[in-house]
């Protein structure tokens, strides 16, 4: 079997440059540096988002429920959610809740 020969010396030089180990190493290093920069940018973005969320959570924690009406509403809401979950569980199990029996 015969191998193909490159007739043009310019094509041969271009091919030699394309497969040069030094050039391939530089290209790989540039690709890795680009990838590292993208990863660093993503990490910085996540850090900024986490810091913003922590700041918002901290400001919410600093404002206690001082309004009596707000406290009552939140308690009623919690009881209502708990009761609705119990009713939903009873209906899913196939039993009737006390509210439906009356």
In the chain, where are the structural domains located? 1-63, 67-102
Query: Whole-model pTM?
Result: 0.40
CA distance 45 to 79: 39
pLDDT lower than 70: segments of the chain? 1-6, 59-66, 89-102
pLDDT at residue 102, as a whole number: 45
Supply the DSSP string of 39-59, one letter for each residue: HHHHHHHHHHHHHHHHHHHHH
pLDDT at residue 84, as a whole number: 86
CA distance 30 to 43: 20
């Amino acid at each position: 079997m015969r191998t193909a020969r490159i007739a043009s010396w310019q094509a041969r030089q271009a091919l030699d440059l394309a497969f040069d180990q030094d050039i391939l190493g530089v290209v790989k290093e540039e690709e890795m540096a680009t990838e590292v920069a993208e990863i660093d940018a993503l990490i910085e973005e996540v850090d900024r988002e986490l810091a913003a969320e922590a700041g918002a959570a901290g400001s919410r924690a600093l404002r206690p429920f001082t309004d009596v009406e707000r406290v009552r509403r939140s308690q009623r809401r919690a009881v209502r959610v708990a009761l609705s979950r119990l009713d939903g569980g009873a209906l899913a199990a196939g039993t009737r809740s006390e509210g439906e029996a009356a």
